[in-house]
C-alpha cells in the first residue's frame, strides 16, 4: 500500500498545475461567448430592435352592424342563424306587414282624393274667371241702361217743363178769355202726364243705378272668391300642389314602412348574437342580431405610452394571430392613434383626489388595418388575440 501511495502521489501532483489553466480557459471562452452575444444583441438592437416595437396586448375588432327593425310587429320569418355568412341585401327577418299594407292603401286613397280636390280648385278658378267676365258684361249692360233712363229722364223733365210753361201761358190768357176752359183743362192734364212721366223716369234711373251697383257688387264678390281660390293653386300644378305633395309623402312613407317589414343585411358578414325568434313581437329599435364584416376587420394594439415616441400613421406592421400561430404573418399599416388612453374613457378614472393614487403606465390604442388578401386567405374573428410588431422606420407620414 505504501508503494502504491508513493506511485499515485507524483501523478496527483502533476495534474494539479493544469487545473487552474483549464478553468481559466473555460472562463475566457465563456466570457468571449458572452461578449460576442452582447455585441450581436447590441448590433441587432441598434439596427433592428430599437426601430421595432411589439406588444401582445392587441385584439381583432370590426365595425359591426347592429340589426334593428324600423317598424313594429310580429316576426313571421327568420331565414338566418348564428355563424351564417350573408351578403349585402340578404333577408335577415320578415315582420308581418298587414298593418303597413292597410296604411298604404289608405294613403293611396287620400292621395287620389287630394288630386281630385286640387283639380276642383283649378276648375273653380276657371269658373270664377268666367263669372267675372259675365259680371263685367252685366255692368256694361247696367251702365247702358242707366244711360238710357237718364236720357229718358231728361226728355221727361223737358216735357214737364214745357207743359208747365204752356199751362202758365194759358192760365194768363184765360183771365182775358182768350183761352177756353177746355184748352186750359187739356194743358193741366198734359202737365200732370208729363210730371208723371218724369217721376217714372226718375224711378227707372234709381232702379237702373241699383242694378249697376248690384252688378258691381257681384263682380267684387266673384273677384274675392277668385283671390281665395287662386291662393290655393297659384304657382303650382296638380302634382306640385301642397295638398297633393303631403298626400304623396304619406304614400311614400307607407310604401317605406311596407318595405321595412323585410329586414335586410346592410353589409356582408357573419351573423352573430341572433336574439330574435319566429313569432316574437318586436318593437322598432329592438336589436335582432349583429353582422360582423370579417373581411374588414382591424386590430387595436394597446402599446405602452413609452413605446409611442416614433409611431406614426402609415408605418408597416407585422402581425401574428394565436389562431394560426407564427406560420401565418399578416401585413398591416398603422391607421392612427386613439384620442386618449383606455383609462381616460373609463367610468372610474385611475386618479383621485384622496391622495392614494399610484402611477400606472398607460396604454394607448393604435388602430391597424390589415391586408385584405391575407384576410381572405386566413379570416379572423372579432376579439382574437394578436401579436403586433411595428416597424417605425417605414411609411410614417
Q: What is the CATH number of the domain that holds 279?
A: 2.40.50.100
Same domain, 240 and 122: yes
- Domain range for 263 is 65-97+259-291
Q: At what angle do helices 181-233 and 98-174 cross, to 10 degrees?
A: 160
Neighbouring-strand partners of residue 65: 291
Quote the number of domains for the chain: 2
Residue 276 inside a domain? The answer is: yes
Q: pTM (2 decimals)? A: 0.63
Residue 228 lies in a domain: yes
β-bridge partners, 263 = 93
Assess whether 224 and 157 both reside in one domain: yes
Q: Alpha-carbon distance 385 to 101, whole Å? A: 49
pLDDT (tens place) for every residue of the chain, 397 residues total: 444 444 544 544 444 555 777 777 777 777 777 777 777 766 655 555 556 889 999 999 999 999 999 999 999 999 999 999 999 999 999 999 999 999 999 999 999 998 888 888 777 777 777 777 777 776 777 777 676 767 766 776 776 667 677 666 666 656 665 555 666 566 666 666 766 766 776 777 666 777 767 777 777 777 777 677 676 677 777 778 888 889 999 999 999 999 999 999 999 999 999 999 999 999 999 999 999 999 899 999 999 888 888 889 999 999 999 899 888 999 999 999 988 887 777 766 666 555 566 777 788 999 999 999 999 899 999 999 999 999 888 766 5
Same-domain status, 78 and 145: no
Tell whether 26 is covered by a domain. Answer: no
Burial per residue of 286-318, b for 16 or more beta-carbon CB atoms within 10 angstroms, e otherwise: eebbbbbbbbebbbbbbbeeebbeebeeebbbe
Residue 344 lies inside a defined structural domain of this protein: no
Closest of 324, 328, 335 to residue 301, by C-alpha: 335
Domain annotation covers residue 87: yes
Residues 128 and 269 in one domain: no
Amino acid at each position: 500500500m505504501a508503494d502504491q501511495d508513493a506511485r499515485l502521489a507524483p501523478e496527483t501532483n502533476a495534474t494539479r498545475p493544469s487545473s487552474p489553466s483549464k478553468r481559466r480557459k473555460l472562463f475566457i471562452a465563456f466570457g468571449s461567448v458572452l461578449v460576442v452575444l452582447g455585441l450581436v444583441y447590441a448590433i441587432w438592437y441598434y439596427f433592428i430592435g430599437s426601430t421595432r416595437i411589439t406588444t401582445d396586448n392587441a385584439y381583432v375588432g370590426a365595425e359591426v352592424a347592429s340589426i334593428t327593425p324600423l317598424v313594429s310587429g310580429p316576426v313571421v320569418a327568420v331565414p338566418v342563424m348564428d355563424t351564417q355568412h350573408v351578403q349585402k341585401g340578404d333577408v335577415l327577418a320578415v315582420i308581418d306587414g298587414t298593418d303597413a299594407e292597410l296604411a298604404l292603401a289608405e294613403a293611396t286613397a287620400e292621395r287620389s282624393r287630394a288630386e281630385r280636390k286640387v283639380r276642383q280648385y283649378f276648375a273653380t278658378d276657371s269658373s270664377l274667371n268666367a263669372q267675372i267676365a259675365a259680371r263685367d258684361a252685366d255692368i256694361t249692360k247696367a251702365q247702358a241702361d242707366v244711360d238710357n233712363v237718364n236720357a229718358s229722364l231728361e226728355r221727361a223733365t223737358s216735357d214737364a217743363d214745357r207743359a208747365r210753361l204752356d199751362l202758365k201761358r194759358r192760365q194768363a190768357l184765360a183771365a182775358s178769355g182768350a183761352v177756353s176752359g177746355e184748352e186750359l183743362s187739356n194743358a193741366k192734364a198734359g202737365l200732370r202726364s208729363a210730371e208723371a212721366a218724369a217721376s217714372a223716369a226718375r224711378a227707372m234711373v234709381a232702379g237702373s243705378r241699383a242694378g249697376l251697383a248690384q252688378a258691381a257688387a257681384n263682380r267684387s264678390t266673384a273677384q274675392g272668391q277668385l283671390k281665395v281660390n287662386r291662393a290655393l293653386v297659384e304657382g303650382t300644378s296638380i302634382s306640385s300642389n301642397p295638398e297633393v305633395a303631403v298626400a304623396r309623402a304619406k304614400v311614400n312613407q307607407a310604401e317605406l314602412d311596407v318595405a321595412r317589414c323585410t329586414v335586410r343585411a346592410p353589409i356582408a358578414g357573419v351573423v352573430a348574437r341572433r336574439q330574435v325568434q319566429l313569432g316574437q313581437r318586436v318593437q322598432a329599435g329592438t336589436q335582432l342580431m349583429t353582422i360582423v364584416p370579417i373581411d374588414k376587420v382591424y386590430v387595436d394594439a394597446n402599446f405602452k405610452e413609452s413605446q409611442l415616441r416614433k409611431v406614426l400613421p402609415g408605418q408597416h406592421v407585422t402581425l401574428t394571430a394565436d389562431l394560426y400561430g407564427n406560420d401565418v404573418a399578416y401585413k398591416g399599416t398603422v391607421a392612427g392613434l386613439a384620442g386618449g388612453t383606455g383609462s381616460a374613457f373609463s367610468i372610474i378614472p385611475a386618479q383621485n383626489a384622496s391622495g392614494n393614487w399610484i402611477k400606472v403606465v398607460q396604454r394607448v390604442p393604435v388602430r391597424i388595418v390589415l391586408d385584405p388578401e391575407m384576410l381572405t386567405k386566413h379570416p379572423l374573428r372579432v376579439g382574437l388575440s394578436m401579436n403586433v410588431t411595428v416597424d417605425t422606420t417605414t411609411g410614417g407620414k
